[in-house]
Structure 1
Amino acid sequence: MNPFDVQSFMAAGGLIGLCVLIFIETGLLVGFIFPGDSLLFTAGILAAQPDPYAPLWVPCVVVPLAAMAGDQCGYFIGRRLGTGALRGRVARMIGPEPLAQTQRYFDRFGPLTVFFARFIGIVRTLTPVVAGFSGMRHRMFTAFSAAGSIVWAAGIILLGYYLGGIALIRNNIELFMIASVLTIVIPTAWHLLRRWRRRTDVTS
């Protein structure tokens, strides 16, 4: 199958794949490599096609649920492992800056961070874990997680759905998929390059 034959991919289980990736993005620390925003936007565009992979309401319901489930997983990892959840090779790849940024959001916004983090790249991966080991009440975390997941996931899918009616976008879906891949490759490569330069400066 052509890797950019998106409609065939979605018909073969793309919605399930999307839900899995959205779950991993906040359920496991490795999820920081996934471009959740781009995936959701593309899912909305595909739902607007003449032969959609699913009715619009399906991803608007199912994908937020996957996001909430991911948040719960991340929360309980943080609750069980404490700050140790942010140690190891994956944590070193993420680096200290995103963690410090997440902590600043908690200091400034408190529980609202769980809602706002949904719209901020790597921060949404770290927030459930930090909420778990920082002692945030589970009921409060769940409430803000549910609100953020619905607004973020369903909102971006709807945005892609309505913009998918524009011919220029509808006829260039492949470019959006390429852009989605680049949103993984470029930030990851830039982050690793910066870390390599810092190590080189220290050892030189």
Structure 2
Amino acid sequence: MGLTDVDLNAWITSFLDVVQSVEPWLRTLIAGVAIMLETSVLLGLLVPGDTVVIVAATGIEDAGQWAALVAACIAGALLGESFGFAIGRWLGPRIDGWLGRRWPRAADRWARIERYLQRRGGPAIFLSRFLPVAHSLVPLVVGASGMRYRRFIAWTVPACVLWALAYGSVGWLAAGSFRELSESLHGAGYLFVAIIAAFLAVVWLGKRWLVRREARHMD
């Protein structure tokens, strides 16, 4: 049997009820910590921070909770990237040498990011927040490069703000639209799915375009 409109609406309602049953402060904290881990050294390969934020955002009930979630994501991202910068400043050359001996492919990625930073400068720091893998490695390489933290943070703050606003808003928009229409529109569940899917598709296409555009600066 296929999934009917009523079944989909009921499933999404149950899902949103579960998310909203978590205390707002706890949802916000979990999202902030997830982003901090995602932007920390190499943990970005393991922690799906973007997914955690979207799920947490579906539980938002008012503008105050939205603002708190966005602020937590910005703070978490800046903490994670600052941690990566500090590790790079203290241990960067050692890490580079260790990668060269034990993990040549990672060492090659490190070298490519170094070239990228040398050619693009500050804009590379901003754009890296939206590039797969690079967003967790760039702070490390920047720290090892000797760039001042003030310059690094000046470029990464606007990127973190833009990212947090986008991901923190889409979940709230999708859930809010669904709850408003679910009683009167049988296909409200499809609207919820469409909003999330459209956002993820735009993000995926944007990342692919950005990777191709910036690849020439890494070679």
TM-score range, shorter chain: 0.5 to 0.7
Identical residues among aligned pairs (%): 27
Q: State the distance in 2 between where 1:71 and 1:16 align.
A: 17
* 8 Å CA contact 1:59, 1:154 repeated in 2: no
Q: Taking structure 1 as the reference length, what is the TM-score of the superposition?
A: 0.67
How far has the Cα of 1:42 moved from its partner?
Answer: 2.5
Q: State the distance in 2 between where 1:10 and 1:96 align.
A: 43
* 8 Å CA contact 1:79, 1:132 repeated in 2: yes
Identify which range, 111-120 or 154-163, moves more after superposition: 154-163
How far has the Cα of 1:138 moved from its partner?
Answer: 1.2
How far has the Cα of 1:101 moved from its partner?
Answer: 4.8
Find out whether 1:43 has 2:53 as its counterpart. no
Q: State the distance in 1 between where 2:115 and 2:54 align.
A: 28
Aligned to 1:152: 163
Find out whether 1:99 has 2:110 as its counterpart. yes
Q: State the distance in 2 between where 1:61 and 1:150 align.
A: 8
Find out whether 1:56 has 2:66 as its counterpart. yes
* 8 Å CA contact 2:84, 2:140 repeated in 1: yes
- Tell me the number of residue pairs that the alignment of Structure 1 and Structure 2 aligns: 169
Find out whether 1:27 has 2:37 as its counterpart. no
The residue identity in structure 2 corresponding to 1:83 is: P
Aligned to 1:113: 124
Find out whether 1:123 has 2:138 as its counterpart. no
Q: State the distance in 2 between where 1:33 and 1:149 align.
A: 19
Aligned to 1:198: none
Q: State the distance in 2 between where 1:35 and 1:123 align.
A: 15
Change (3 A) 1:165 1:14: closer
How far has the Cα of 1:111 moved from its partner?
Answer: 1.6
RMSD: 3.4
Aligned to 1:73: 83
Q: Which has the larger radius of gyration?
A: 2
Structure 1, unaligned runs of 5 or more: 180-204
Change (3 A) 1:169 1:67: farther
Q: Taking structure 2 as the reference length, what is the TM-score of the superposition?
A: 0.63
Find out whether 1:137 has 2:155 as its counterpart. no
